[in-house]
């Protein structure tokens, strides 16, 4: 391979790291390797474990540390990535340093495929990073190939609130037209009952009544090199689509990080030698969406469902063994007559978190050969005919 040419099989993943457990880079690396990618990782934090345990140690890395990594990768001719993935970043200075790197990489390789997961907050919880990161994330949006915010993050990036179908479409249009994003995946969307019915979706899964989650995606690219995203005339080309799939009850960390990694790893944009339909087209007509990013999301969800099913199976087996031993699963060695109640509650939380770590290594089959059950469908409003 010629010096400074992008390596077609190498990804740079920039996000958090834990010594024990599976979030951030720990959640992304092994699955991407299973899919055939060489993965270089740059850790934005290194903690003992994820923060859901209630206690953790380690440190957040500053922008000088991150910039030093990037500078010396470049000095040695190692910044030759065909794909990039970014997730949790602990400060606006770090986000800015990463933005500068993506800009340099984009200039060197206009075909860079970059997935931006703008980890900032969640519905009901609000921002869990400093608000100063928001304007820098907005500057990163036009550098991305795919952006996968949750509903809260999509709202604060667009400055609009999702109240129903019409406002959802306005958020998608804003991300495409005002911020230059090519492919948008809003990973969890809440819509009113009447809007779900209008698009043929449900509050619960039809086959078994489990609560349903809704992912909404869309793609919009200029039709020529001279056309700009700011041209509102391209809005008519927007064709949103959605996937409904079962919500797995309980608290699991690293799920979003795993989804982002699998989506990037599975994404196969159309090329001259690839007959896949271009984004925005239909595959043979009908209700199902056959775009490249929708296919990647379908496979990512299928693998994720498999990982969660295997994780839940392990949890159920552990709880069964606890029951047989007369334990309630709150820590086998706790003597509640001697241990302070507050400490007992912490230990119970730690035990729960340990059990709910994703069984990624044990889910190789589900990652490599996912069975796609939940398909992407065009988001058509039945009320509009």
* Residues belonging to the active site: 257
Please tell me whether residue 214 adopts helix, strand or coil conformation. Answer: strand
Beta-carbon neighbour count of residue 359 at 10 Å? 19
Closest to 102 (Cα-Cα) out of 13, 32, 214: 13
Contacts of residue 338, Cβ cutoff 8 Å, sequence gap at least 6: none
Beta strands (DSSP E) in 144-221 are 146-147, 183-186, 212-219
Closest to 350 (Cα-Cα) out of 26, 95, 53: 53
Q: What is the phi/psi pair of residue 179, to 5°?
A: -120, 0
Residue 25 and residue 17 in contact, taking contact as beta carbons nearer than 8 Å: yes
- Record the tokens describing residue 90, joined without a space: 């602990």
Burial readout 369-379 (b: 16 or more C-beta within 10 A, e: otherwise): ebeeebbbbbb
Cα–Cα distance between 176 and 184 in angstroms, integer?
A: 8
Closest to 375 (Cα-Cα) out of 196, 242, 277, 219: 242
HSE-up of 158 (CA within 13 Å, CB side)? 25
CA 177 to chain centre: 22
DSSP string, 250-316: S--SSHHHHHHHHHHHH-----TT--SPPTT-BSSSSSBB--HHHHHHHHHHHHHHHHHHHHHHHHH
SS (H, E, C) 63-96: HHHHHHHHHHHHHCCCCCEEEEEECCCCCHHHHH
- Record the tokens describing residue 385, joined without a space: 């005919």
Closest to 4 (Cα-Cα) out of 101, 106, 109, 97: 109
């Amino acid at each position: 391979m010629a010096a400074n040419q992008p390596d077609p099989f190498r990804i740079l993943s920039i996000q958090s790291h834990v010594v024990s457990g599976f979030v951030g880079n720990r959640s992304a690396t092994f699955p991407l390797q299973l899919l055939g990618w060489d993965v270089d990782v740059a850790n934005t934090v290194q903690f003992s474990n994820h923060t859901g345990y209630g206690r953790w140690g380690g440190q957040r890395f500053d922008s000088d540390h991150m910039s030093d990594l990037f500078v010396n990768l470049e000095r040695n001719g190692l910044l030759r990535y065909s794909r990039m993935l970014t997730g949790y970043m602990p400060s606006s200075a770090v986000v800015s340093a990463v933005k500068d790197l993506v800009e340099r990489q984009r200039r060197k390789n206009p075909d860079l495929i970059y997935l931006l997961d703008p980890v900032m907050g969640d519905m009901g919880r609000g921002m869990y990073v400093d608000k100063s990161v928001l304007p820098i994330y907005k500057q990163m949006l036009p550098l991305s190939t795919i952006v996968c915010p949750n509903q809260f993050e999509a709202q604060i990036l667009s400055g609009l609130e999702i109240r129903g179908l019409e406002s959802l479409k306005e958020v998608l249009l804003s991300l495409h037209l005002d911020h230059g994003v090519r492919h948008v995946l809003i990973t969890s969307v809440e819509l009113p009952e009447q809007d779900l019915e209008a698009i043929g979706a449900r509050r619960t899964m039809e086959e078994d009544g489990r609560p349903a989650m809704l992912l909404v995606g869309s793609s919009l690219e200029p039709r020529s090199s001279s056309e700009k995203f700011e041209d509102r005339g391209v809005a008519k080309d927007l064709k949103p689509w959605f996937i409904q799939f079962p919500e797995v009850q309980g608290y699991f960390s690293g799920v979003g990080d795993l989804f982002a990694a699998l989506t990037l790893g599975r994404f196969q944009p159309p090329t001259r030698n690839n007959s896949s339909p271009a984004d925005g087209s239909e595959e043979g007509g009908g209700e199902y969406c056959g775009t490249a990013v929708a296919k990647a999301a379908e496979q990512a969800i299928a693998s994720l469902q498999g990982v969660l099913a295997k994780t839940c199976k392990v949890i159920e087996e552990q709880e069964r063994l606890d029951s047989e031993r007369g334990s309630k699963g709150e820590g086998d060695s706790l003597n509640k007559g001697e241990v302070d109640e507050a400490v007992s509650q912490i230990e119970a939380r730690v035990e729960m978190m340990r059990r709910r770590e994703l069984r990624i290594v044990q889910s190789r089959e589900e990652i490599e050969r996912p069975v796609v059950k939940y398909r992407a469908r065009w988001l058509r409003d039945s009320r509009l005919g």
